[in-house]
Structure 1
Amino acid sequence: MEGIFLPPPALADCVRSALLTGVPGGAYVLPAALHPLLLVILEGGIAVRRAGVEHPLPLLSVCGGTRGVREARAEPGTRILTVPLLPGGLRALFGVPGRAVMEEAVDPAVLLDVAGRGALARFVDSRRPAAACGSAVSRVWELLCDIRRDTDSGSALCVPPVLLALPADELAECFGVGLRQFERRFLDSYGQPLRSYRQQVRCSRMLAALSGGNPAEGWAAVAAREGYADQAHLCRDVRRFTGHTPRELQAGIARLDPAFWPYHIDPATLARHFGPSGF
């Protein structure tokens, strides 16, 4: 049952898809995340390390976007379901803007009203053994339909990736709003300012090149093609957003190191799951 699952029509404006996958046991480094997402732990467990202390994640977490890496550890046999949220999806489902959970992994119970917490409790109580994981995706869709607020996600700002390189004032003009209003709506919808989001998008797109081994033209040429000032600039961004140098990342991918499992997922699957912006 591992793979990608599209949402029902009632959720198509809030979430992109669901990806069911296994996570090797042991320590690993999570890359920076452009998108807020829902993380459902179907089997096993995951703990995130903060200030040297491991904090176990609940069965279901609302994870905000992050501008840096996170250290984590998974129990052997862990299986997860990830559901990236579209711009405005957090507000439509939980009534909060993207910036409210940036850098955080939140128990959804703190974001829900009484009815929503009841639906969440029923979802948790219905957790089934490994043999019945095939129903996990449909149960997650049912939960999200049950907790969805009346908020209209259509009011969210959604910038086509091909326009991201435009100056902010030109983007504001494209959407028919002033610059300050555009910046506020972008922060509300995406969870971080336009400038930092652009930096992360550029690095996320770089990961596709890394997964294919050493680029034929060399890293200096790649840096120039992708808009970096130089190769050192590229290396700083890769380390910042993945926790590794480009060579370390390539080596881990090439030897199928379990600690690099996020990069072992098929690139086409990742592109379908997260969209053209990457992780």
Structure 2
Amino acid sequence: MAMSRLILPPPLSLSGIVRYFHIEHADGGVLRMPAMPFPYLGVLLSGDSCAERGGERMASPRSFAVGALSRPISLRISAGAVFASAPLRLGQLQTLFGIASHELTDQIWPLDALIGRAEEEALFDSLRPGDGAGQWVEALSAWIMRRLARREPPGGFDHWRLPAASLFLDSRTLAEQSSLSTRQFERRFLARYGQPLRDMRRMARFMRAMGGMILGQAGSMADLALDCGYFDQAHLSRDFKLLSGFSPREFAQGLHGQSNRELDLLRYDAREKQLVMDSVDADLREMRADEATDVASVQDAF
């Protein structure tokens, strides 16, 4: 699949919400998207796209929100498709929409179901096909800023910070550190991050391993496994196959050796690597849950 892509940093005012902006012009084909803890917002400006996993097929609305992905999916994109997306930092679906993040896990949710048809139409109309990537990023940024300005203050702040190393403490210890019961902690963690603590631990290891391969920093698979917190190379291989759809060697060879076109979404130039992988590292280094209060369901969002 031949593609023209532009990845741009967010304005400083949105650096705590948006990881980066991604503009894509595709010639059509199938792309593989691995499991990811990061939600994202997308607008399909032209063409068609659908997600496939096993026998399930989900057509992409023209504008949508996607929660964390617990398993890899394939994206079938039509020739000439153009889309603009804003991958978000961990937990920011809750910040933007006041909903529990796990309600969108493994879902492609029409944006108008979250914000109402009038606001969705105004956003889509602001992304004029004749404009360029810079104007699209400005329009998306302005809309996100308006949503942040309009949101109601949360009912309370925990000011709770969860360093990535703490992911591997047991739930009871983390709950005590947060002055919560274990059940309260687990419920708030799920609502904020879209996955249970155990699944986020697995995801953190996988993201470090995949990041090392994307950056070309991985040595032997045995060393990579130990560096990323796996018990051994077999543990890495099982998790990597489950969460990416490829064995570690297949992934590395497809990315850097015999090019696998399904991996084009993860094939970055040097500048893109720094921007994308720095945002991954920042989120996994310190997971924030300052607003981990009880939230409304998707059905009660507006």
Indicate whether the TM-score tops 0.5: yes
CA contact (8 A) 1:88 1:97 kept: no
Gaps of 5+ in 1: none
Distance 1:14 1:132, change over 3 A: closer
Match of 2:227 among 225, 228, 233: 225
Q: Which residue of 2 aligns with 1:271?
A: 277
- Alignment of structure 1 residues 40-119 onto 2, 5 Å: 40-50=43-53, 52=55, 54-112=57-115, 116-119=116-119
Distance 1:44 1:256, change over 3 A: farther
Task: Quote the Cα distance in structure 1 between the aligned partners of 2:12 and 2:214.
Answer: 32
Letter in 1 for 2:274: A
Match of 2:22 among 19, 34, 37: 19
Report the secondary structure of 2:162's partner residue: coil
- Alignment of structure 1 residues 140-155 onto 2, 5 Å: 140-148=140-148, 149-152=151-154, 155=157
Task: Quote the Cα distance in structure 1 between the aligned partners of 2:183 and 2:55.
Answer: 39
Report the secondary structure of 2:65's partner residue: strand
Distance 1:192 1:155, change over 3 A: farther
TM-superposition CA deviations, 1:174-229 (whole Å, max 9, x none): 3232322211111110011011011011011001222355843x222332333323
TM-superposition CA deviations, 1:54-102 (whole Å, max 9, x none): 4431222110101101111122344433323334422332221101111
Distance 1:7 1:179, change over 3 A: farther
Report the secondary structure of 1:164's partner residue: helix
Which range moves more in the overlay, 148-157 or 198-207? 148-157
Give, in angstroms, the shift of residue 50 of structure 1. 4.7
Q: Which residue of 2 aligns with 1:167?
A: 170
Give, in angstroms, the shift of residue 23 of structure 1. 4.6
CA contact (8 A) 1:18 1:273 kept: no
- Alignment of structure 1 residues 142-221 onto 2, 5 Å: 142-148=142-148, 149-152=151-154, 155=157, 158-212=161-215, 215-216=218-219, 218-221=220-223
Gaps of 5+ in 2: 285-302
Distance 1:226 1:43, change over 3 A: same
Give, in angstroms, the shift of residue 117 of structure 1. 2.9
CA contact (8 A) 1:44 1:77 kept: yes
Q: Which residue of 1 aligns with 2:7?
A: 3
CA contact (8 A) 1:119 1:147 kept: no
Task: Quote the Cα distance in structure 1 between the aligned partners of 2:32 and 2:155.
Answer: 32
Which range moves more in the overlay, 42-51 or 226-235? 42-51
Letter in 2 for 1:165: F
Give the aligned CA root-mean-square deviation in angstroms.
Answer: 2.8
Calculate percent identity across the aligned residue pairs.
28
